Structure 1
Amino acid sequence: MSTVPDTAADSAAAPETKSGGQEQQKLPLLALLALATAVFITCLTETLPAGLLTAMSDDLRVSESATGQTVTIYAIGTALTAIPLTAATAGWRRKGLLLAAMAGFALANTVTAVSSVYELTMVARFVAGVAAGLAWALLAGYARRLAPVHLQGRAIAIAMAGIPVALSIGVPAGTFLGEALGWRVAFLSMTALTVVLLLWIFAAVPDYPGQERGERPKMLRTLRIPGVTPVLFVTLVFVLAHTILYAYIAAFLDDLGLDDSTGLVLLVFGAASLASIWIVGAQIQHRLRSLTIAGALLVAVAAALLAVVSDTTALVYVAAVLWGLGWGGVPTLLQTAVGDAGGESADAAQAMLVTLWNVAMAGGGIIGGILLDVAGSESFPWTVLLLLLPVIAVVLYARGAGFPATRQVSQDVGPEPS
C-alpha cells in the first residue's frame, strides 16, 4: 500500500454533472469483492491447520502441539516482515504488488499440501506469513482508494468481511473437506481459489502507482503523528484480549460441558460478526469513535456473561452474539482509524498495525495457554475484561486524534487508476 495515493486518492472528487452538481459515486463491488476474497484467503490460510491438526500431525509424524506451531510460525512471518516489506515496496505499482502477495499464498499452500517433511512445511507456512504481512498492509489502503471519501468506511467493511466469513464458514468447511478427502485437498483447494483470484484481480481491480522515493515516510517517524500511537495501542490490547478467548474457545466450552456445541457457537459468533460489519460500514463515516467504544463494551459484556453465568447454555449463545457484534467491525474500525490518523504516512501506520495485530495473536495464544495450565479456562473471560478497561480508556482519551467523533479526511483530488 502506498501512502500518498492511498490517502489522497481516497477522496477523489466525483465527476460533475451537466447541472454543475456532483454525481454520487458508487462502490466498485467487483473489485472490492476481489479484495474481500483476498482477505478470506489470508485469514483462512492462517487458521486452517487448527481444524486439520490431527491428520496433519499423523502425516508429518510430529505431535499435535508441534503441528500447532504452523499457526505460530505464520504469525511470526507476518510480524517480522510487514514493516520492512511495506517500506521496501513503497514504490511498486499497487496491482503488481497485490498479485505478488497472492501468488505467495498459492505457492505456500501448494508446498504445504504436498510436503511430507515437517521442516519444509514450516518454511512454507513462514512464506505464507510473509505474504500475509504484505497483503494486510496493502488491502485496507487499496479498499480506501477504490472508494469516494463518503464511502471509504463501507469499502473497507466489504473488504474486511472476508475475516468473519473465513472464521465462521471457511474453517468449518475446510475441516469438513479435510475429513472427507484429506487435509492436503483442503490446502490444494486454497491454491485453486487463489489462482482464480489472481485472474479476478488482473481483470477487475484497477492499478495505482506507488510513491516517489522522496515522498516515502520513515516508519518510526510515523509514531510521532498524533493519533497513530493510541490506535496502535488499542489494536495490540484489543486483539490480545479477543485472541485469548477465541483461540481457546473449544477448551472453554469443553469445561462447560458444551464440547459438542463449539461449531454452533462459532457459527453464531460469525453471523453476528457479519451483522457488525454491515452496521460499521454504514455508520463509520460519522460514528467511528462511538462504534469503537460500543464494540469494546459489547465484548466486555459478553466476557462478563461468560464469567458469571456461563452455566446457563442460552446465555452462552447470547454472549456469542454480543461478542460477534462487538468484534466483527473492529478490523474495519482500526484500519480506518490508523489510515486516517497516519495521513500521508498511512502505509507505515498500516504496516505497524499489521505487525502489532499478529504480535497480539501470537501473544494471545501463548498467554491463553499459560492461563489454561495455571488458572483454568474460567480465567479467560476475566482476563478479557481486565484488558478491555485500558482499551476503552484510551479510545475515550484519544478524542482529538485517533478516535475522533467524525472522520476528518482530505477532499483533495488524488491520482486516477492507470
Structure 2
Amino acid sequence: MTGFICIMTETLPAGLLPEIAQGLQVSPALAGQTVTAYAAGSLTAAIPLTLATARWRRRRVLLATILGFLLFNTLTALSSSYALTLVARFAAGAAAGLAWSLLAGYARRLVVPRLQGRAMAIAMIGTPVALSLGVPLGTWLGGLLGWRLAFACMSALTLGLIVWVLAKVPDYPGQTEGQRLPLRQVFATPGIRAILGVVFTWMLAHNLLYTYIAPFVALAGLGDQVDRVLLTFG
C-alpha cells in the first residue's frame, strides 16, 4: 500500500495536467513540473535520508514516510500557490525516496529466508497496480470531482494506512554501525552502475511521455478520454 501511494502521488498529476494548470493558473508545461519537483525530491533526498535514519527502528521510518505523504498531499490539495505546490511536491518526493529505500529490506525481514524473494515481489506490487489501475481511476475521479479532491483522497488513504501499520506491521531495529556499507563500496559493486544507468534512462523516457500524456493525446482529439488512455498505457 505504501508503494501504491508513492506511485499514485508521483504520477497522479499526469492525468490531471489541464485541470491542475487551470487551477494554479499556469501553463500545462509548468504544471508538469509538479512531477519534476517530486522526482527531484526523490533523487536528492533518498541517500541522505536513508543514511540519517539508518539506526532508527524500521516502523518509525515507515510511519515517517507515510506521514510525509499525508502532510504534503494535503498541502497540495489545499494550495492555490504554484510555488508552494512545487515545494509540497518536492517534499513528497523526498518522502518517497526514503520509502523506496526501506520497503524491500523491510519486507525481507518479515519472513523466513526462503520466502524473501516472494515478500519483496508482494511489497512492490503497489507499483504496477498504481500505474495500471490507480492513476486512471484517479484521473477519472479528478475529472469528475476536481483535481484537489483526488489529492485529498490520497490523504484519506494515507490515514487508513497509518492505522493499518500501527495495528499489523511488526517493528525491527535499525542498522548498527558495523552493518552499514560505505557508499563508495556500494557504487563499486559489479553491475550496480550499469543497472542504475539503465533504470535512470528508462524512467526519464517513460516519465517524459507519461507526465505530458494529457496534452499529447489532446492533439489526437482524445482530450476527454485521458483516463482510458492511461488505463491502456498502464
Q: TM-score w.r.t. structure 2 length?
A: 0.89
Aligned to 2:151: 187
Tell me whether 1:108 sits opposite 2:56 in the alignment: no
Aligned to 2:85: 121
Larger radius of gyration: 1
Partner of 1:222, secondary structure, is helix
User: Are the aligned partners of 2:49 and 2:98 in contact in 1 as well (CA < 8 Å)?
Assistant: yes
Inter-partner Cα distance in structure 1 for 2:205 and 2:32:
20
Q: Report the alpha carbon displacement of residue 221 of structure 1 after superposing the two structures with TM.
A: 2.0
Aligned to 1:79: 43
Inter-partner Cα distance in structure 2 for 1:117 and 1:262:
25
Distance 1:111 1:93, change over 3 A: same
Q: Report the alpha carbon displacement of residue 203 of structure 1 after superposing the two structures with TM.
A: 1.0
Distance 1:245 1:123, change over 3 A: closer
Identity %: 56
Match among 183, 186, 200 for residue 164 of structure 2: 200
Inter-partner Cα distance in structure 1 for 2:212 and 2:81:
28
Q: Report the alpha carbon displacement of residue 264 of structure 1 after superposing the two structures with TM.
A: 4.1
| Partner AA of 1:110 in structure 2 | T
Inter-partner Cα distance in structure 2 for 1:144 and 1:234:
25
Aligned to 1:132: 96
Tell me whether 1:209 sits opposite 2:173 in the alignment: yes
User: Are the aligned partners of 1:108 and 1:124 in contact in 2 as well (CA < 8 Å)?
Assistant: yes
Tell me whether 1:141 sits opposite 2:114 in the alignment: no
User: Are the aligned partners of 1:75 and 1:129 in contact in 2 as well (CA < 8 Å)?
Assistant: yes
Aligned to 2:130: 166
Match among 34, 44, 69 for residue 70 of structure 1: 34
User: Are the aligned partners of 1:77 and 1:128 in contact in 2 as well (CA < 8 Å)?
Assistant: yes
Partner of 1:58, secondary structure, is helix
User: Are the aligned partners of 1:94 and 1:210 in contact in 2 as well (CA < 8 Å)?
Assistant: yes
Q: TM-score w.r.t. structure 1 length?
A: 0.52
Tell me whether 1:97 sits opposite 2:68 in the alignment: no
Inter-partner Cα distance in structure 2 for 1:200 and 1:142:
16
Inter-partner Cα distance in structure 2 for 1:62 and 1:252:
17
User: Are the aligned partners of 1:87 and 1:219 in contact in 2 as well (CA < 8 Å)?
Assistant: no
Inter-partner Cα distance in structure 2 for 1:238 and 1:150:
31
Q: Report the alpha carbon displacement of residue 178 of structure 1 after superposing the two structures with TM.
A: 1.6
Structure number with greater CO (CA < 8 Å, separation at least 6) is 2
Aligned to 2:115: 151
User: Are the aligned partners of 1:40 and 1:162 in contact in 2 as well (CA < 8 Å)?
Assistant: yes
Inter-partner Cα distance in structure 1 for 2:140 and 2:157:
17
Aligned to 1:42: 6
Q: Report the alpha carbon displacement of residue 174 of structure 1 after superposing the two structures with TM.
A: 1.3
Partner of 2:32, secondary structure, is helix
Q: Report the alpha carbon displacement of residue 217 of structure 1 after superposing the two structures with TM.
A: 1.9
Q: Report the alpha carbon displacement of residue 224 of structure 1 after superposing the two structures with TM.
A: 1.7
Q: Report the alpha carbon displacement of residue 209 of structure 1 after superposing the two structures with TM.
A: 0.5
User: Are the aligned partners of 1:48 and 1:175 in contact in 2 as well (CA < 8 Å)?
Assistant: yes
Inter-partner Cα distance in structure 2 for 1:258 and 1:161:
33
| Partner AA of 1:68 in structure 2 | G
Distance 1:46 1:152, change over 3 A: same
Partner of 1:206, secondary structure, is coil
| Structure 1 residues 368-387: aligned runs within 5 Å | none
Q: Report the alpha carbon displacement of residue 233 of structure 1 after superposing the two structures with TM.
A: 3.0
| Partner AA of 1:165 in structure 2 | V
Distance 1:227 1:148, change over 3 A: farther
Aligned residues: 233
Partner of 1:229, secondary structure, is helix
